[in-house]
Structure 1
Amino acid sequence: MKTKITLLLAFFFIGVNFGFAQQDEECMTKLSIFHEYTKAKNYDAAYEPWMDVRNKCPKFNNAIYVDGEKILDHKIDNSTGVEKVAFINDLLKLWEQKGEHFASKTPKGEYAAQASQLMYDNRELLNKSDGDLYAAFDAAYKLDKETFTNPKSLYTYFSLMVDLYDAGKKPAADLFNKYDDVVEKVEDEVKNFSEKLNGLIEKEDAGTALTSKEGKYKKYYESYLNAYDQISGSIDGKLGPRANCENLVPIYQRDFEANKGNAIWLQRAAGQMSQKECTDDPLFFKLVNAYHNISPSANSAYYLGLLKDKEGDSNGAIKFYEQAISLESDGFKKSKLYYRIASKLKAKGNYGKARGYYREALKLNPSNGRPYIAIAAMYAASANNCGDSNFDKRAVYWLAADEARKAARVDPTLSKAASQSVANYMAKAPQKSEIFSSGRAGQSISIGCWIGASVTVPNI
């Protein structure tokens, strides 16, 4: 009896394994078929064998989900009405299945944001309200903030909050908090990609050519920085006048007592008031001092510097600005502080000191071209004051153009603006006929005053 049972079990397992082997072989064959069709962009032909493998062997290979997304995207783009809705819902289901069977290849925040964006892009067809869509994006953000990085989805997320606020469905406090959330997230991503790009720029500056792989990574980092730069402007544009002093001050005044021990709230409130030029209001003084008392930081010291500037105490302001720099340990954030302080000094006409701060900002974040643009502008503004002759004065524009070219080289977000600046400065510099008549082609001109640099007259 025992022998019979053993034999039966043996035959059973052989049969099961044979069945699995047959299934694997069938799935392998059909996977090969749909993958070749997908590579050839013949998505309609790929659909049936792909569905067979997806249903029979959902764990067989990640290509089921990578190719499946392309196949369903094609179906969505080439269908209408009820059929299109079915394909949209199937793509949403496909991403859920990928998360179930290939979790390590399916970052939760990224795919939840992707699903939310798909629903948003087809909101009328799916009959989704702003409230439904915001809830989906908000859940994705809270589920896995680290991988919720898509620039378009970050903008959509915030845009929906503004729409709900305008419709009276979200209070102003929620709007401003969400603005801070999204802006901080964008800044984190800009920091991430800037630091990666900085290493490649430093390698190029050292005279070492990038490898083919590094060149591709450089373009990838630059494309993301471009995208984040665009949505940063769009986010501020969407917020618009809703965050003016008339709206901010009453809200922060109302909530101050409840939050005067909350460093994050105080930092955000002071930051918003600083950004929106509400620093003349006495509330800004209260916010900054409360923030500095409970959490002395680079930000709080910087805001105290702003207060000193408002009082006309430039020396006192510089002391707090320097304190802010000393308190900041993060290189990227320190670079931003140097830039902000330099811009304050530039606005006051203190060009020499401003240039020093701009250069410190560049040391810490060489892929940010804005300091170069600012230095170029200061040179151009000083052209009439630096030089003994008209020719020498206008030679300053060559220096300005050189700085603007550096911005175009290192910062993809400034390529167009920097190129326009270069053209403008070169038009103001001595032209070929003037260089020829001066007889100074190839000579070096020393530029005096605060600039203290030399420039070589171009050869013609």
Structure 2
Amino acid sequence: MKAKITLLFTFLFIGLNLVSGQTNEEDMATLSIMTEYAKAKNYEAAYKPFMELRQRNPKFNRAIYVYGEKILDDKIEKSTDANKVAYIKDLIKLWDERGTHFASKTPKGEYAAKACQLMHDYKDILNKTDQELYECFDAAYNLDKATFKNPKSLYIYFKLMVALYDGGKKPAKDLFNKYDDVAEKIEDEVKLASEKLNKLIEKEDAGTALTSKEKKYKKYYSQVLTAYDKVSGSIDSELGERANCENLIPLYQKDFEEYKNDAIWLKRAVSRMFYKECTDDPLYERLVKAYDELSPSADTKVFVAGILMKKGKTSEAEGYFNEAYDLEEDSFKKSKLAYRIGTILKKKGRYGQARGYFRNALKLNPSNGRPHLAIAAMYASSANSCGDTTFNKRAVYWLAADEARKAARVDPTLQKSAAQSAASYLAKAPSKADIFSAANSGQVIKIGCWIGSSVTVPKV
């Protein structure tokens, strides 16, 4: 009897293995058919094996979801409105299934945002309101902020908030807070991409050629930075005059007592008033003092220094600038800080000191071309006071053009504008006829005053 039972179990085990093997072979064959059609972009033919495998064995291979997304995208694009809605809903369902069966390969924030973006793209045929779409994006953002980083989705997320504010459905406080959320997220992503791009730029500057793989990475990081730069400008445009001093000052006056012990609120309030040039109002100084007392940092010292500069206490302000720069340890933040300090000093006409901070900013973040453009602008504005002859004064524009070209070379977000600046400066520099008349082709000209540099006259 015992031997019969053992034999029965042996047959059952072999039978199950045979069935399992046949199933795997069938799934592999279906996957292969789907993949070949999808790779050839014959999505119509790929649809049937995709749906069969998705229903029969959804855990079989992640390719079901990778190619399935493309297959359903094609269906959405080519369908009439009635069928389009069904395929849109099915694609969202597919992303949910991917999250269930391949959770580690399906970042929650990224895929939740993709679903919201899809609904936004087809909001008319789906009858989605701005309120519903905003709530969708907001839930995705709060679910997993780290992977909610698609530039377009970040922009739409904020644009929807603006629409709700304009419609009287969101208060100004929520609008400004959401602007800060999105702006800070963009800055985080820019920092990550910049740090990776900087390593490649430093390698090139050292005279080492990039590998083919590194060139692809350089192109990718450049594209990432360009995308975020565009989005950053777009959310600033969306906010526009809604964040003018007339709106900000009463809001912060009203909320100050409630939030005066909230460092994040103080930081955002001070920063927004600073960048919107609301610094003449007494509230600004009150906010800066509260921020510095509650959470002293490199950031607060720069704001304090700015107030001292306005009061004419230049030497005291410079001490705060130096303290701020020394306090910051993060290279990316230190670079931004150096650029901010340089910008403040530039506005005050302290060009020599400003250039020092701009150069520090470049050392810490070489892929940011804005310091180069700032130095170029200072050179150009000093042309009349830093040359001893008309020719030498105009020669300063060669220095300015050279700085602008550097910005175009290192910063993918500034290539067009930096090239235009360089061309503008060159147009003001001595012409070939001027060089011929001065008979100084190829000579080195020393530029005095704060510039303290030299420039070689082009050979003609």
Which residue matches 1:99? 99
Worse-matched range after superposition: 127-136 or 279-288: 279-288
Amino acid at match of 1:273: M
In structure 1, list runs of 5 or more residues that go unmatched.
none
Cα separation, 2, equivalents of 1:281 and 1:438: 53
Cα separation, 2, equivalents of 1:3 and 1:165: 79
Which residue matches 2:379? 379
Cα separation, 2, equivalents of 1:84 and 1:183: 34
Cα separation, 2, equivalents of 1:74 and 1:132: 26
Amino acid at match of 2:83: E
Cα drift, residue 88 of structure 1 = 0.7
Which residue matches 2:411? 411
Which residue matches 2:287? 287
Amino acid at match of 1:85: V
Give secondary structure in 1 for the equivalent of 2:278. Answer: coil
Cα separation, 1, equivalents of 2:289 and 2:426: 48
Contact 2:404 2:421 in 1 (8 A): yes
Cα separation, 2, equivalents of 1:3 and 1:172: 81
Give secondary structure in 2 for the equivalent of 1:69. Answer: helix
Instruction: Write out aligned runs for 1:16-27 (5 A).
Output: 16-27=16-27
Which residue matches 1:249? 249
Percent identical: 66
Worse-matched range after superposition: 404-413 or 284-293: 284-293
Amino acid at match of 2:442: G
Which residue matches 1:183? 183
Give secondary structure in 2 for the equivalent of 1:191. Answer: helix
Which residue matches 2:128? 128
When the two chains are superposed, the root-mean-square deviation of aligned CA atoms in Å is: 1.3
Amino acid at match of 1:307: I
Give secondary structure in 2 for the equivalent of 1:413. Answer: coil
Cα separation, 1, equivalents of 2:167 and 2:188: 30
Which residue matches 2:161? 161
Normalized against structure 2, the TM-score is what? 0.97
Which residue matches 2:142? 142
Worse-matched range after superposition: 227-236 or 97-106: 97-106
Which residue matches 1:306? 306
Which residue matches 1:443? 443
Which residue matches 1:75? 75
Which residue matches 1:394? 394
Which residue matches 2:324? 324
Contact 2:226 2:413 in 1 (8 A): yes
Worse-matched range after superposition: 48-57 or 410-419: 48-57
Give secondary structure in 1 for the equivalent of 2:414. Answer: helix
Contact 2:306 2:344 in 1 (8 A): no
Cα separation, 1, equivalents of 2:245 and 2:12: 78
Worse-matched range after superposition: 299-308 or 192-201: 299-308
Cα separation, 1, equivalents of 2:57 and 2:132: 34
CA offsets 1:49-77 (integer angstroms, 9 cap, x no match): 11111111211111111111111111111
Cα drift, residue 265 of structure 1 = 1.2
Contact 2:261 2:294 in 1 (8 A): yes
Worse-matched range after superposition: 54-63 or 224-233: 54-63
Cα separation, 2, equivalents of 1:392 and 1:107: 59
Which residue matches 1:370? 370
Which residue matches 2:268? 268
Cα separation, 1, equivalents of 2:361 and 2:450: 19
Worse-matched range after superposition: 407-416 or 236-245: 236-245
Cα separation, 2, equivalents of 1:281 and 1:213: 53
CA offsets 1:177-212 (integer angstroms, 9 cap, x no match): 111111111111111111111111111111111110
Worse-matched range after superposition: 303-312 or 398-407: 303-312
Which residue matches 1:87? 87
Which residue matches 2:172? 172
Which residue matches 2:43? 43
Cα drift, residue 244 of structure 1 = 1.5
Cα separation, 2, equivalents of 1:272 and 1:375: 25
Cα separation, 2, equivalents of 1:89 and 1:19: 34
Cα drift, residue 324 of structure 1 = 1.7
Cα separation, 2, equivalents of 1:146 and 1:63: 25
Cα drift, residue 4 of structure 1 = 3.4
Normalized against structure 1, the TM-score is what? 0.97
Amino acid at match of 1:159: K
Give secondary structure in 2 for the equivalent of 1:349. Answer: coil
The runs of at least 4 aligned residues of structure 1 exceeding 4 Å deviation read none
Amino acid at match of 1:352: G
Worse-matched range after superposition: 339-348 or 315-324: 315-324
Give secondary structure in 2 for the equivalent of 1:384. Answer: coil
Cα drift, residue 14 of structure 1 = 2.2
Amino acid at match of 2:229: D
Which residue matches 1:234? 234
Contact 2:447 2:454 in 1 (8 A): yes
